[in-house]
Structure 1
Amino acid sequence: MRSDQRRLRVLQAIVQDYVHTREPVGSKAIADRHGFDVSSATIRNDMAALEEGGLIHQPHTSAGRVPTDRGYRAFVDSISQIKPLSSAEKRAIETWLEGAVDMDDVLIRAGRLLAQLTNQVAVVQYPNRKRHALRHVELVPISDHHAMLIAITDSGAVQQRTLEISLTDELATSIAARVNSATVGKAGPEITLDSKEFDHLPPLEKRMVGAITAVLKDVMTDEAEERLVMAGTANLARTNLDFARTITPVLEALEEQVVLLRLFADVGDELAVTIGEENQDEGLAEASIVTSMYGEPGTSRLGIVGPTRMDYANAMVSVRAVARYLTRILGS
């Protein structure tokens, strides 16, 4: 075996042992656990070369070595094939996701499942809704001075808003018909009061229609906003020792969903891993993110966030598997 091949094996052994034990790894432990057909002195030389290359470092004097971000990157890049899930694991994922009653439920289930499979924080991006348009509007008087606006989108989502407005049943039906005629098939930015359907309305009714279309525009704009489902945040507390400083910056980054959405948008590969300082946000400088596309190509992602000391192979196979099953279920 060439020295560069052996050094890669030594790096892989260090990553695997450190992930498993959280303890710095020494040359004797590598020789004993991984069956190298060389002496401990040779392994020490290999470790010195890996340290010089910035792939491992010694946290304190007389200690073993731990991987750096560059070391984890080299390890992840060396994973040529991802071990598939067992048949039992596949059936469990399929059964759990197929039990969902609607899209919200299936995304929540996917997040919980991913958090459980990886023991990390799971993040699931809602399918891109920016192209969705209005399908139908209803106005229902609920008191002398209030009415319920019900908006149904072409995705099947139903949104309700209470309006402070006085409507008789007859007037509600008439205005709803005009609003439907003027707005059905339009997305949020396209909904305006500027329509021939609203020409020649009496001033009072025109003010009512103006209030209704303004709320409807807000409803459809909210529908277009990107949203995330998160699960397993408590898993970070159990890995607090893996952060040199504190988990607070990671928690703050998770709360700022725009940070995660931006990270998702910056990743182009179907299955991607970003490690430590590869993450653009400073709060995630001690974290790793494993993501995969699902649904229509390039539209949505799901993934996990955790410390750089994570089981990358398990994370990658779990993220990819849940993404594939989610794609299948949403497409059926």
Structure 2
Amino acid sequence: MVSERSLAVLRAIVQDYVASREPVGSKAIVERHSFGVSAATIRNDMALLEEEELIAAPHTSSGRIPTDKGYRVFVDQLTDVRPMTRAQRHAIETFLGESSDLDELLARTVRLVAQLTKQLAVVQYPSFGSARVRHVELVSLSPDRVLCILITDSGQVEQRVAELPQPVDETALALHRARLNDLAGNRAMADAAESLSGEFADVPPADALVLRALAATLAEQARAQRQDRLVVAGAANLVRTEQDFPGSILGVIEAIEEQVVLLRLFGEMAADEHAVAVRIGRENASFGLGETSVLSSAFEIPGRDISRLGVVGPTRMDYSHSMAAVRAVARYLSRTLGEN
């Protein structure tokens, strides 16, 4: 059974090791922290922590470093996540508030989180699994080129140009628009894509050719909105911490490049009472990320599936600060995107 003082010693070891990257000894703990006990007493506490496999000696020196299990206990024992300062919150709102659209907002988001946490930042692009098609619009660019516009009930607008097999005038285009809205309107994305993939046997062959070209373009747009993908920034932060990875960092980079790996991991992460999910070291081994810690927090946009924002880095990271940054930015995204 680990005593309260031993847990406090563990917290001190984690904090000092994260700050210095140097193994922490009993003498340093006595000098830096106000425990009011001797170094011998602290050594006894450290021996108990070592027996519980919460700390370990990296070599023959007297210093100790946290284990994955130690980091897990440290994170679980966090009674609070220090909030972002007013200046930091203002910086978040100012920097992200300058975004002109969703793409720019998410690009700015990962850059900001990477800067705040000094880790690799990842954001899951909001998918439209639960969105519905509100309207289809067709705009003639030339007799044989049409801009297909797909508008969802959550306000997302997807545009793509369709090359037609033959010219169409405005009258014919209006009829095609009405037909395609009948097929796709008020349907979920997957259902709309399926409905638009059918044949048009009840119209003249020439019109059917045009309708198929338009419908195929719109079906591709609907399917694209369901694809999960990630926006990543801060790879340089990961490289700078290479010495914190006992093995090769190449395996970590390869796992991150396989976006499906992180998407699966995000899908399994459940948030704690701080609204942040944390997976540490060997808890990520099955994903090829056994030497990393992954933090995530969810954000939501009406009409879309829940998405996640997070960071990936070595187990030696400032958990409290990183959790606060990820949570604050995720809350900003939910609030701002929900209003829009």
TM-score after normalising by structure 1: 0.91
Which of the residues 231, 234, 245 maps onto 1:232?
Answer: 234
Gaps of 5+ in 1: none
Which of the residues 262, 283, 289 maps onto 2:288?
Answer: 283
**Distance between the aligned counterparts of 1:209 and 1:184, measured in 2?**
16
**Distance between the aligned counterparts of 1:161 and 1:228, measured in 2?**
25
Conserved? CA contact 2:135–2:185, under 8 Å: yes
- The structure 1 segments of at least 4 consecutive aligned residues displaced by more than 6 Å after TM superposition are none
1:205 corresponds to:
207
Deviates more, 1:133-142 or 1:265-274: 133-142
Q: Secondary structure at the match of 2:308?
A: strand
Counterparts of residues 261-280 of structure 1 (less than 5 Å): 261-269=263-271, 270-280=275-285
Counterparts of residues 1-332 of structure 1 (less than 5 Å): 4-140=3-139, 142=141, 146-154=145-153, 155-170=155-170, 171-191=172-192, 192=195, 198=200, 200-269=202-271, 270-295=275-300, 299-332=306-339
Q: Secondary structure at the match of 1:213?
A: helix
Compute the displacement of 1:47 (Å).
1.2
Compute the displacement of 1:67 (Å).
0.6
CA deviations 1:189-233 (Å, max 9, x no partner) are 32325889x453112322332333233212101112222221112
For the structure 1 residues 200 and 282, does the alpha-carbon distance in structure 2 shift closer, same or farther, using more than 3 Å as the test? closer
**Distance between the aligned counterparts of 2:197 and 2:26, measured in 1?**
75
**Distance between the aligned counterparts of 1:309 and 1:3, measured in 2?**
22
Q: Secondary structure at the match of 1:323?
A: helix
Compute the displacement of 1:21 (Å).
0.8
Deviates more, 1:291-300 or 1:106-115: 291-300
Question: Which residue identity lines up with residue 300 of structure 1 in the other structure?
Answer: S
Conserved? CA contact 2:165–2:210, under 8 Å: yes
For the structure 1 residues 119 and 201, does the alpha-carbon distance in structure 2 shift closer, same or farther, using more than 3 Å as the test? same
The sequence identity of aligned pairs, in percent, is 50
Compute the displacement of 1:147 (Å).
4.2
**Distance between the aligned counterparts of 1:193 and 1:31, measured in 2?**
71
Deviates more, 1:8-17 or 1:213-222: 213-222
CA deviations 1:146-198 (Å, max 9, x no partner) are 544333333322221332522222433332332223222223432325889x4
Conserved? CA contact 1:292–1:301, under 8 Å: yes
Compute the displacement of 1:325 (Å).
1.4
For the structure 1 residues 3 and 330, does the alpha-carbon distance in structure 2 shift closer, same or farther, using more than 3 Å as the test? closer
Conserved? CA contact 2:119–2:234, under 8 Å: yes
Compute the displacement of 1:65 (Å).
0.8
For the structure 1 residues 271 and 285, does the alpha-carbon distance in structure 2 shift closer, same or farther, using more than 3 Å as the test? same
Conserved? CA contact 1:293–1:302, under 8 Å: yes
Compute the displacement of 1:145 (Å).
5.5
Question: Which residue identity lines up with residue 262 of structure 1 in the other structure?
Answer: R
CA RMSD of aligned residues (A): 2.4
**Distance between the aligned counterparts of 2:277 and 2:217, measured in 1?**
40
| Count of matched residue positions in the alignment of Structure 1 and Structure 2 | 330
**Distance between the aligned counterparts of 2:191 and 2:287, measured in 1?**
38
**Distance between the aligned counterparts of 1:216 and 1:158, measured in 2?**
9
**Distance between the aligned counterparts of 1:187 and 1:208, measured in 2?**
24
Q: Secondary structure at the match of 1:327?
A: helix
For the structure 1 residues 194 and 20, does the alpha-carbon distance in structure 2 shift closer, same or farther, using more than 3 Å as the test? closer
Conserved? CA contact 2:121–2:312, under 8 Å: yes
**Distance between the aligned counterparts of 1:49 and 1:311, measured in 2?**
24
CA deviations 1:78-136 (Å, max 9, x no partner) are 11011222211111111222222122222222211111110001111223411223333
Q: Secondary structure at the match of 1:158?
A: strand
**Distance between the aligned counterparts of 1:221 and 1:5, measured in 2?**
54
**Distance between the aligned counterparts of 2:71 and 2:299, measured in 1?**
25
Question: Which residue identity lines up with residue 237 of structure 2 in the other structure?
Answer: N
Deviates more, 1:129-138 or 1:53-62: 129-138
TM-score after normalising by structure 2: 0.89
